[in-house]
């Protein structure tokens, strides 16, 4: 209801489009209906960012504007020629926006416009408001495969990016942010693929996030642009946002193995018994790995007193044990039940053990310093 329009002030809705000619017409008329029925307040700015769609979505948007010229809506259509990408289109839209609150949504009606005002209203109590398909929300129609991929992608993001951990749908493309949040980071935003929200959650400054459950609708017209390229973009994007942490972790682990072997060799030359030299090599290489993770892999989270460092070092040792166990159990299982070659089984075991070690280090050893309030 528009009684709260004073608080809401001017809002911008950014809608990226690619081949959505049919949908954009319906969406714009629905938004107009919402304003007419006062379920969305006046003073809305709509920014459509189209990447020169072959079906002329940009033209369709302008036509609709002409037909229903309405002083309550300020409509900007950006036609990007020679540029392509959902997230970069949104960033370009943000650069043009004037609103105090900025809403981002898809054009294909999978994000129902009826929720816009609820999402904006949440910005009264939080800096970012995310429409979620999961915590109380729903998905009208999705294949099992797409659901699994979405869940795995969410899990990867939650492991690598602590800012996403308390959120049920950090992959959402339907959300709102306060302008002040964007001012803190707009120049730094350099996303790839579809997940602009991840970029904002990691790079911008904010104190609180809230969620609004919604039903992700079935697409009626046109088709999804999500494909292999976007999945790869997602992985690269998340790795980049994590400052390539898993790669650093792997490099340290590989170096640690060499250190382990070198120490063992040295001790054997010094005639130290293998039972002792092996144990010493394992412990010294674990300490070596810990030191490098402190200085490099997790440099951004490694500050603190000597006591805190010692506690972390102890926890890191604890994180190594389940990894070794995983490696052993996976290797044996693959060898016994799938008759895999011992070397291949061992290698897969190493990879699984690495994932366990990395996850425990992320979640349990080097905890992030930044705390974000989650408002339910
Ligand atoms: N400008 C521009 N450029 N827009 C694009 C591009 C592009 O290269 N690719 C896609 N879009 C637009 C589409 O026209 C649509 O309005 C919106 O971005 C979402 O694209 P879809 O192809 O419909 O994606 P989806 O439905 O599979 O996934 C979407 O919804 C998810 C759930 O909210 C995306 O927004 C995901 O990021 C989101 O998680
Ligand atoms: Mn869609």
DSSP states of 302-326: --S-HHHHHHHHHHHHHHHHHHHHH
Tens digit of pLDDT for each residue in 303-351?
889 999 999 999 999 999 999 999 999 999 999 999 999 999 999 999 9
Is it the case that residue 13 has pLDDT exceeding 80?
A: yes
**Which pLDDT score is estimated for 35?**
86
Is it the case that residue 8 has pLDDT exceeding 70?
A: no
Is it the case that residue 67 has pLDDT exceeding 80?
A: no
- Tell me the C-alpha distance between 256 and 42, whole Å: 62
Helix axes 86-96, 196-203, angle to 10 degrees: 60
Is it the case that residue 9 has pLDDT exceeding 60?
A: no
Tokens of 12: 């911008």
**Atom of ligand 1 at shortest range from CA of 85:** 8
Closest CA to 317 of 359, 289, 349, 281: 289
Q: How confident is the model at residue 252 (pLDDT cuts 50, 70, 90)?
A: very high
Is it the case that residue 38 has pLDDT exceeding 50?
A: yes
110 lines ligand 1 (CB under 6 A): yes
For residue 107, the CA-to-ligand 2 centroid distance in Å is: 8
What SS3 class is residue 144?
helix
**H or E segment to which residue 11 belongs:** strand 11-17
214 lines ligand 1 (CB under 6 A): no
172 lines ligand 1 (CB under 6 A): yes
Which residue, judged by its Cα, is nearest atom 35 of ligand 1?
Answer: 173
Place of tokens 């949104």: 90
Q: What is the mean pLDDT of residues 140-168?
A: 93
134 lines ligand 1 (CB under 6 A): no
Which residue, judged by its Cα, is nearest atom 31 of ligand 1?
Answer: 173
224 lines ligand 1 (CB under 6 A): yes
For residue 224, the CA-to-ligand 1 centroid distance in Å is: 7
51 lines ligand 1 (CB under 6 A): yes
**Atom of ligand 1 at shortest range from CA of 174:** 33
The DSSP code for 256 is: H
Query: Which of 226, 229, 234 to mutate to test ligand 1, by most ligand atoms within 8 A of the CB atom?
Result: 226
- Global pTM reads 0.92
Ligand nearest to the CA of 24: 1
Average pLDDT along the chain: 92
**Atom of ligand 1 at shortest range from CA of 49:** 1
């Amino acid at each position: 209801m528009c009684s709260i329009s004073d608080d809401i002030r001017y809002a911008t809705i950014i809608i990226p489009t690619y081949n959505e000619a049919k949908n954009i017409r319906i969406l714009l008329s629905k938004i107009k209906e919402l304003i007419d029925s006062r379920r969305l307040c006046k003073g809305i700015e709509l920014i459509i960012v189209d990447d020169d769609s072959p079906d002329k979505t940009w033209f369709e948007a302008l036509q609709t504007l002409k037909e229903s010229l309405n002083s309550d809506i300020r409509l900007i259509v950006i036609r990007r020629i020679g540029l392509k990408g959902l997230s970069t289109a949104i960033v370009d839209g943000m650069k043009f926006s004037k609103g105090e609150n900025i809403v981002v949504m898809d054009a294909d009606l999978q994000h129902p416009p009826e929720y816009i005002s609820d999402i904006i209203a949440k910005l009264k109590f939080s800096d970012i408001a995310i429409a979620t398909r999961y915590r109380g929300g729903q998905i009208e129609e999705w294949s099992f495969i797409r659901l699994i991929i979405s869940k795995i992608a969410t899990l990867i993001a939650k492991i690598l990016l602590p800012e996403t951990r308390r959120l049920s749908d950090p992959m959402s493309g339907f959300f709102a942010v306060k302008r002040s949040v964007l001012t803190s980071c707009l120049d730094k935003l350099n996303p790839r693929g579809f997940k602009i929200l991840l970029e904002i959650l990691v790079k911008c400054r904010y104190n609180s996030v809230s969620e609004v459950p919604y039903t992700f609708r079935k697409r009626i017209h046109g088709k999804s642009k999500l494909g292999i390229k976007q999945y790869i973009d997602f992985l690269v994007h998340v790795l980049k946002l994590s400052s390539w942490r898993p790669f650093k972790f792997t490099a340290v682990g590989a170096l640690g193995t060499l250190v382990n072997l070198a120490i063992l060799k040295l001790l054997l030359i010094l005639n130290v018994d293998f039972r002792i030299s092996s144990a010493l090599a394992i412990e010294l290489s674990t300490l070596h790995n810990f030191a490098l993770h402190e200085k490099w892999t997790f440099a951004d989270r490694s500050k603190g007193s000597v006591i805190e460092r010692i506690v972390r070092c102890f926890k890191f040792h604890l994180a190594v044990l389940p990894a070794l166990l995983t490696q052993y159990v996976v290797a044996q299982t693959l060898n016994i039940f799938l008759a895999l070659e011992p070397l291949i089984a061992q290698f897969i075991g190493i990879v699984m053990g690495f994932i366990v070690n990395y996850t425990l280090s992320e979640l349990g050893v080097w905890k992030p310093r930044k705390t974000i309030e989650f408002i339910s």
